[in-house]
Amino acid sequence: MSSILLPALEMAAPTLEWRALAPVLLVFAAACLGILLDAVLPRAYRFLAQMTLVFASVALAACSPSERQQTGDDLRSDMPLRDATYYTQHEQERVEMAGICETWKASQRPPESVRKRYRRVRFGVLLC
């Protein structure tokens, strides 16, 4: 048997944005703590303790500075970031972007209501 040895590829380890994940991790930790409270506390104290935990964790997650400090500098895309003013000044690029958007829209699945209507008409049953 012959073995094929591939050259060692240098791969950069992915970085995790812990600040962006902090609200989700906080709510997940609160859910785990809520289950623990449910197992440990007597029935008379469970509701108050769990509601306090829920409101505190949601308030802390909502006050997270991660979303407010996003600048968009770390976006990874092959297209430059443009705004509406740019496209009003550059008509040719607006037309090109509109074509890209239309191609993307055509590749997406239709909304549920359209699929249901199509299904009814396809089988010859009109239930409208």
Write the pLDDT tens digit of every residue in 36-66. Answer: 999 999 999 999 999 999 999 999 988 876 5
Query: Domain-by-domain residue ranges, the chain?
Result: 18-67, 84-128
Residue 1 pLDDT level (bands cut at 50, 70, 90): very low
- Residue 103: what pLDDT? 85
Residue 108 pLDDT level (bands cut at 50, 70, 90): confident
Q: Whole-number mean pLDDT of the chain?
A: 76
- Give the residue-averaged pLDDT of 87-105: 86
Whether pTM exceeds 0.75: no
Residues 60, 66 contacting (CB under 8 angstroms):
no
Written as six digits, the tokens of 73 are 């500098």
- What single-letter amino acid sits at 71? T
Number of other CB atoms surrounding residue 54 within 10 Å: 14
Residues 87, 93 contacting (CB under 8 angstroms):
yes
- Residue 20: what pLDDT? 78
